[in-house]
Chains A and B, each alone.
Chain A
Amino acid sequence: MMILVTGGSGSGKSAFAENCVVSLGSEKRIYIATMYPYDGESRKRVKRHRKMRAGKGFDTLECYTGLSGVHVPEGCTVLLECMSNLVANEMFREEGAHERTYDEITKGILHLKEQAAHLIVVTNEIFSEAVCYQGDTEEYRRCLGNINQFLAGQSDQAAEVVYGIPVYFKKSTEIPKITGEEKTDGGKL
């Protein structure tokens, strides 16, 4: 099963996604971290996320670019966070895929789906504001928007998390709805 979790900044997407993983059962849990720690602010962010994940039984795998080459144990549950960082890395980092970003990432997602029992992807809503962008930033928005559409298409469930509350915009009928509520075997929210 694949679940897409999206939402605005600081909306509680990560906590919800982590609890989705925990409520999916006790298979091996892999966290694919995509944020490159390039400055103090991002290092602080990474630290905060590590703290949130602590005690939830994740093995962390860092992937800043080249998702299609990532191997995970057969039948595991994968949480990939966050697509907005991965797209930025592929587009703007030297070793990134640049104009092949969409192909590289969609290939990577399909490859992960083949290996994992469950795949949860966290992405970001950055598409509703008044500021006009040009050049690289606009190209980035276009690419992430297209990838988000691909992800929703691939997913069995897709939810926008609004201040911690999941608002589903895609729900499979056969699969029980994941509430994302915290289970007792996890760490504290």
Chain B
Amino acid sequence: MEMIIGGAFQGKASYAEKMYPGIRWKKGAELSAEELFCAEGVLGFHEFIRREMQAERDTENLAEELIRRNPGIILVSDEVGYGVVPVDAFDRAYRERVGRICTELAAFSQKVTRVICGAGMVIKDV
């Protein structure tokens, strides 16, 4: 598993497409859980988490299940935890859940790259 993370509009998708040219990418804003478990790569993984939470589906064990069922996936996700605590309870829960899931996945990933201004900074490579 590999992850590409960073703030919004930093060129993460372009960076990912350049780094992994052979991959068929799916969009987090569109794909189903079953598609996630067999996807090669996902852009906007945080969007998937938001949709699952909006649909009130359980995301508690999402990271664990993804690790078990699709350990080779390439995930591209926004970092969303760098602001003042949101007033809205759903936003607060979503922000924290993205963090928890990505932290669990990052611990499992061989490589984690953070993209800032289009430039990739490898923060984990084992």
Q: Hey, which bits of chain A sit against chain B, CB under 8 A?
A: 7-12, 41, 125-129, 131, 133, 137, 140-141, 162-165, 167
Query: What A residues does B5 contact at CB under 8 A?
Result: 162-163
Contacting pair A8 B124 (CB below 8 A) = no
Expressed in whole angstroms, the Cα–Cα distance for A164 and B114 within the complex equals 13
Contacting pair B84 A10 (CB below 8 A) = no
- Closest A residue to B109 by beta carbon equals A163
- Closest B residue to A131 by beta carbon equals B83
Q: How large is the interface on B (under 10, 10 to 19, 20 to 34, 35 or more residues)?
A: 20 to 34
Given contacts A131-B84, A163-B5, contact A8 B99 (CB under 8 A): yes
Expressed in whole angstroms, the Cα–Cα distance for A126 and B95 within the complex equals 12
Given contacts A9-B96, A10-B97, A10-B98, contact A163 B83 (CB under 8 A): no
Contacting pair A10 B112 (CB below 8 A) = no
Q: List 17 A-B contacts (CB under 8 A).
A: A8-B79, A8-B80, A8-B81, A9-B99, A10-B96, A10-B100, A12-B99, A41-B89, A41-B92, A126-B84, A128-B82, A137-B84, A163-B102, A163-B105, A163-B106, A164-B106, A167-B123
Given contacts A162-B114, A163-B106, contact A133 B84 (CB under 8 A): yes
Contacting pair B7 A128 (CB below 8 A) = yes
Expressed in whole angstroms, the Cα–Cα distance for A141 and B124 within the complex equals 30
Expressed in whole angstroms, the Cα–Cα distance for A39 and B51 within the complex equals 27
Query: What A residues does B105 contact at CB under 8 A?
Result: 163
Query: Distance in Å from the Cβ of B86 to the closest Cβ of chain A?
Result: 9
Query: Distance in Å from the Cβ of B64 to the closest Cβ of chain A?
Result: 14
Scan B83-122; emit 1 where CB is below 8 A from any A CB, else 0. 1110001001001111110110111000010100000000
Query: Distance in Å from the Cβ of A69 to the closest Cβ of chain B?
Result: 27
Contacting pair B112 A165 (CB below 8 A) = yes
Interface secondary structure of A, over-half rule: loop
Q: Hey, which bits of chain B sit against chain A, CB under 8 A?
A: 3, 5, 7, 79-85, 89, 92, 95-100, 102-103, 105-107, 112, 114, 123-124
Query: Distance in Å from the Cβ of B87 to the closest Cβ of chain A?
Result: 10
Expressed in whole angstroms, the Cα–Cα distance for A167 and B114 within the complex equals 11
Expressed in whole angstroms, the Cα–Cα distance for A135 and B27 within the complex equals 39
**Residue of A10, A126, A127, A129 with most partner-chain B CB within 10 A:** A10
Contacting pair B99 A128 (CB below 8 A) = no
Query: Distance in Å from the Cβ of A179 to the closest Cβ of chain B?
Result: 12
- Closest B residue to A166 by beta carbon equals B123
Contacting pair B123 A10 (CB below 8 A) = no
Contacting pair A9 B81 (CB below 8 A) = yes
